[in-house]
Chain A
């Protein structure tokens, strides 16, 4: 092979490597597990935070046409940031929001709701964080959108205007 062709091949290889790594550099490096999207929510039963009954049963969730499941905790700072969005979703848009109180102290959790308002129609207590793992979550806050018990959307981190709009779009579909 002629040297000229060899150098052209070398050049093309280098350019390809450059483009590949450029993509790597620009890609988002926070890992977003989305294995659960499209699947039915796993089965669980959790104690209710505020009343004795009803317990938070995954069957209740499966029965709902459209619901938002939000994992939160009173100790979690970003949860305070997203709280107004949850309140809006409930009050303005009449969305049914279920809470999953994650590894929290129930007294603190209740105070939190007193102070900032309670957007949840039902709150389950995930004291050990086991149900969160079942859901494929890795921290708080995380938000799931359920359609007849199927997870159709998931957001990691505090809600913002964009995600709220996405949720509303999903509701109207």
Chain B
């Protein structure tokens, strides 16, 4: 069987294009980082209403992304939403115990995310701790209802 070198070279190049394309998709398009996913720590927060918050939503502090929402589930004890957050590990031992978490909306109709703001307690949040002070999502219907009932009572 005659094997031509240019053909082998072409097929090799073709495979290389595929691998490089996959790397491009991974790094540039899906924004994967090469750092290990283990350098995070876990914090929980209970909200009475999460609105449209979704898993993988951003967790920010002063507008800077510091983590992601890992899971959302119903807490059957209090019938509120238990949200599990994954925060960057360089914040471990930096956030005070009375840090507050609020569900905010990007723009008027944008996606919802969690904003953390620091408190003044000398104790700090560790892996697995629970954020006590939370502020629920702004649900537009409730807001309108409140507004209308205020108008009527006035």
Do the two chains bind?
A: no
